[in-house]
Chain A
């Protein structure tokens, strides 16, 4: 019943801007379902209680020196109301647990494709580390392929994020692709999403991290599988070029043969 009512009511309410922007991942969908249900519960409960106060105050308004009509009320009412509220709380709890399983990540739905990305927060940008399945043309070992600020992922693929921080606490949050995850130094938090459509999705960190905090934004660009391969390939090439350049420079300047790893593009 409630689900049906929600299914009918949610789209117009969403159009009116009363809900979060459209989701693009199953876990973000679950978050939206939970949101609509809880919005309805909170609205009904809050409206009922405030309306009760207003009605009681208006209906029984009296002069200052008036006497009350009755001094007592029915016994046992509080117990019944409390029991009703308790049942409501228990129901919300069960609902919340069920929805949490779906909302934390998108990996519950088994899909053939999956991709592991490392997300590292630092003041005040995000660094994305792609898996090393693309070997360089020369066959030599390359440093992790990475990008800053923008994460490019293939569509319809479960993307597992391992979120970490190198300095202070940050928060990873792309509203269309799931809930917030705190990036705490020394801990790796895991989440995942599976983008259903191509597009560009933005978000910003929601944890104060110093003066540059509002600039700590992230973009996720969802592209087709082929485009993704191409992108990672180009990243890898860029990186190896940069590495070669650095290695050449350091070879020319100093006898140290070890090239520094992970030079920023």
Chain B
């Protein structure tokens, strides 16, 4: 009689020393190579610098509120002005766009990541180092370079301090970050689109992103070359820009204008791309004439860079070059006009829902038109000779940046539910949109009139007899309201980021693949990537679900007396094998049925976003 076995036979088992501890959230956010984590860093940095640039802009305007003002000493004014310009363009505008692209575009093309994730991460940290370098100069010598350090003024003779070096180093690092981001973006777009997503089916914002990638490569490369040569000139006895040694000071102007013209084109393309996503989505219609819209974005990139010399009409360049720049700048009328026309035609006969993204997008379109209309005027050489480098032409650029900022806000309202799973409050956004656009119009008009009187850009002082006191007073008041509007919206975004109402996975009934992912998306973005069969894959998927639901017949009740034959009934009930795209419905169905308790409230929760 043997005792019952008390010891089980050996069998394989999984051994662990415990669940690995979670890393701290900040460590995860800053070291993850997930494109979404990196993009959030870009966005956070960009919006921070937007607040900084806006406040600096208000300070410079405050100095000009009255003639002969002595609120700020000249050096301080020049430093704040320089910091404001570089913050607005290099530290806010381009990074904000990169953040949106870096988050959304891989989702839009149905990719589970990016092609070169570590390069993508390196790009951000190069940019962050550059930004730190620029702002660290406030601890020693601040650059006084309102737009860019143009030699000979930036040569050692005239600018012996190392402020210029801080500007050059910081902008070079940031630009290198942009270029590396563009490399990763282009590699991702070429290689990682979902099956079936031919270029003709790529979403319009993806088209904008692709154009921006190539523009960044060209424009960023030119800027890096210019800054390298300037450093050689300053510290290693170079003569690239030294007229006395057969150098060419204008060469630096050309290269930096290629960069700034590229940045300008990027802002316009990015804003147009965002608005072109929102307008169809909230009009419940496909974008009118997609090929024309996509082609227009590409054309703006090409022509916008080609027209860089439209900023140099007054410089001693050959007439032929000036005419080429004018031709390219005027040709921009066609793609820009077409894009606006496409938006109008998209809304026409649609069901336009004036939610916050739509309001912000339309206000952005209006502000952009204020700036682009002014630039159409200055593109003609005689008018350019009159208005260039006066505050009249400067306000065109500011209006483009304001329009771009509104478009970025619109994009954040549209896409933040995807990023955070929470919707952004709409009341403050509509208030901010009105405040920004209204004050921008007043500001633009006042500055335009002052520019007609010949008020130059970048001056820290004007005199009573210049006759521009009223215009400057009005412009300063308007600028303060403008900045207030921006700060209100930034506060709104920050407040809604972690405590907004919970949103559904597809709050706008979007038609592109980012709405196929969960909100927020898991690290791998998609459990299953659907076949793309049109430019609006989610519309196809919804239709497939609708058809399936219509075709669904509830199983007949089992006859009581019949012999048990359980096999056929479950097969007809579930029947997934007989349908195409077996994995496609999993997520939308989950959405429709509400996997989480918040989904059903999310849909109508967005209607009254008073929280």
B338: which of A64, A82, A88, A186 is its contact (CB, 8 Å)?
A82
Q: Is the CB of A30 within 8 A of B382?
A: yes
* Main SS class of interface, B: helix
Q: Is the CB of B351 within 8 A of A68?
A: yes
A103 cross-chain contacts in B, Cβ below 8 A: 381-382, 385
A208: which of B292, B322, B351, B457 is its contact (CB, 8 Å)?
B457
B285 at the interface (CB under 8 A from A): yes
Question: Per-position contact with A for B314-334: 1 when CB-CB < 8 Å, else 0?
Answer: 111001001100110011011
A92: which of B144, B372, B380, B456 is its contact (CB, 8 Å)?
B380
A88 cross-chain contacts in B, Cβ below 8 A: 333
Identify which of B326, B345, B347 gathers the most chain A CB atoms within 10 Å of its CB: B347
A92 smallest CB distance to B (angstroms): 5
Which chain A residues (77-136) contact chain B, with CB distance < 8 Å? 77-79, 81-82, 85-86, 88-89, 92-93, 95-97, 99-100, 102-104, 123
B512 at the interface (CB under 8 A from A): no
State the CA gap A93–B459 with chains docked (Å). 33
A3-11, A45-53, A144-152, A239-247 - interface stretch: A45-53
A250 at the interface (CB under 8 A from B): no
Which chain A residues (148-207) contact chain B, with CB distance < 8 Å? 167-169, 171, 173, 175, 178-182, 184-189, 203-207
Identify the closest chain B residue to A38 (Cβ).
B377
State the CA gap A79–B449 with chains docked (Å). 37
Size range of the chain A interface in the assembly? 35 or more
B236 cross-chain contacts in A, Cβ below 8 A: none
B352: which of A34, A43, A61, A209 is its contact (CB, 8 Å)?
A61
A96 cross-chain contacts in B, Cβ below 8 A: 326, 330, 379-382
Q: Is the CB of B376 within 8 A of A20?
A: no
Q: Is the CB of B376 within 8 A of A42?
A: yes
Q: Is the CB of B316 within 8 A of A208?
A: no
B96 smallest CB distance to A (angstroms): 23
Q: Is the CB of A168 within 8 A of B158?
A: yes
A67 at the interface (CB under 8 A from B): yes
B110 at the interface (CB under 8 A from A): no
Question: Per-position contact with B for A51-77: 1 when CB-CB < 8 Å, else 0?
Answer: 011101100111110111111110001
State the CA gap A69–B348 with chains docked (Å). 9
Identify the closest chain B residue to A52 (Cβ).
B344
B153: which of A42, A54, A86, A169 is its contact (CB, 8 Å)?
A169
Question: Per-position contact with A for B248-264: 1 when CB-CB < 8 Å, else 0?
Answer: 11100100000000000
B350: which of A19, A39, A68 is its contact (CB, 8 Å)?
A68
| Contacts across chains A and B counted by CB atoms under 8 Å | 268
B429 smallest CB distance to A (angstroms): 16
Q: Is the CB of A182 within 8 A of B314?
A: yes
B72 at the interface (CB under 8 A from A): no
Question: Per-position contact with A for B59-70: 1 when CB-CB < 8 Å, else 0?
Answer: 000000000000
State the CA gap A171–B387 with chains docked (Å). 13
B461: which of A19, A78, A175, A214 is its contact (CB, 8 Å)?
A214
Identify the closest chain B residue to A28 (Cβ).
B386
Q: Is the CB of A77 within 8 A of B152?
A: no
Identify the closest chain B residue to A90 (Cβ).
B330
> When A68-B283, A99-B381, A206-B388 are in contact, do A63 and B353 touch as well, CB less than 8 Å?
yes
B298 at the interface (CB under 8 A from A): no
A21 at the interface (CB under 8 A from B): yes
A257 at the interface (CB under 8 A from B): no
Q: Is the CB of A60 within 8 A of B283?
A: yes
B99-107, B188-196, B362-370, B558-566 - interface stretch: B362-370
Q: Is the CB of A209 within 8 A of B153?
A: yes
B150 at the interface (CB under 8 A from A): yes
A20: which of B341, B379, B386 is its contact (CB, 8 Å)?
B386
> When A89-B334, A171-B389 are in contact, do A186 and B348 touch as well, CB less than 8 Å?
no
> When A78-B341, A78-B342 are in contact, do A69 and B377 touch as well, CB less than 8 Å?
no
Q: Is the CB of A211 within 8 A of B353?
A: no
State the CA gap A62–B347 with chains docked (Å). 11
B243 smallest CB distance to A (angstroms): 3
A17 cross-chain contacts in B, Cβ below 8 A: 449, 452
> When A34-B380, A214-B459 are in contact, do A89 and B366 touch as well, CB less than 8 Å?
no
A213 at the interface (CB under 8 A from B): yes
B141 at the interface (CB under 8 A from A): no
A63 smallest CB distance to B (angstroms): 7
Q: Is the CB of A45 within 8 A of B388?
A: no
Q: Is the CB of B350 within 8 A of A60?
A: yes
> When A69-B349, A97-B323 are in contact, do A38 and B383 touch as well, CB less than 8 Å?
yes
A19 cross-chain contacts in B, Cβ below 8 A: 452
State the CA gap A188–B312 with chains docked (Å). 16
Q: Is the CB of A93 within 8 A of B353?
A: no
State the CA gap A124–B392 with chains docked (Å). 23
B156 cross-chain contacts in A, Cβ below 8 A: none
Size range of the chain B interface in the assembly? 35 or more
A77: which of B289, B373, B376, B458 is its contact (CB, 8 Å)?
B289
Which chain B residues (284-309) contact chain A, with CB distance < 8 Å? 284-286, 288-289, 292
A160 smallest CB distance to B (angstroms): 15
B147 at the interface (CB under 8 A from A): yes
Q: Is the CB of A71 within 8 A of B147?
A: no
Q: Is the CB of B347 within 8 A of A57?
A: yes
Q: Is the CB of A52 within 8 A of B341?
A: yes
A81 cross-chain contacts in B, Cβ below 8 A: 337-338, 341
B240 cross-chain contacts in A, Cβ below 8 A: none
> When A53-B344, A66-B351, A208-B457 are in contact, do A182 and B334 touch as well, CB less than 8 Å?
no
B355 at the interface (CB under 8 A from A): yes
Q: Is the CB of B314 within 8 A of A38?
A: no
A222 at the interface (CB under 8 A from B): no
State the CA gap A43–B458 with chains docked (Å). 27
Q: Is the CB of A184 within 8 A of B458?
A: no
A34 cross-chain contacts in B, Cβ below 8 A: 380, 382-383
A31 at the interface (CB under 8 A from B): yes
Identify which of B312, B315, B342, B380 gathers the most chain A CB atoms within 10 Å of its CB: B380
A31 cross-chain contacts in B, Cβ below 8 A: 382-383, 385-386
A35 cross-chain contacts in B, Cβ below 8 A: 377, 382-383, 386-387
Q: Is the CB of B456 within 8 A of A206?
A: yes
B244 cross-chain contacts in A, Cβ below 8 A: 185-186
A200 smallest CB distance to B (angstroms): 11
State the CA gap A20–B327 with chains docked (Å). 25
Q: Is the CB of A210 within 8 A of B158?
A: yes
A41 at the interface (CB under 8 A from B): yes
6 contacts between A and B (CB under 8 A): A31-B383, A31-B385, A38-B377, A56-B348, A70-B285, A96-B326
What would 12 more interface pairs be, CB under 8 Å, given A50-B369, A81-B337? A31-B386, A52-B341, A52-B344, A60-B349, A62-B352, A73-B289, A77-B289, A82-B334, A169-B150, A178-B385, A179-B314, A179-B386
- Which 7 pairs across A and B sit closest by C-beta, in order of nearness? A179-B385, A186-B243, A103-B382, A62-B351, A206-B389, A56-B347, A46-B373
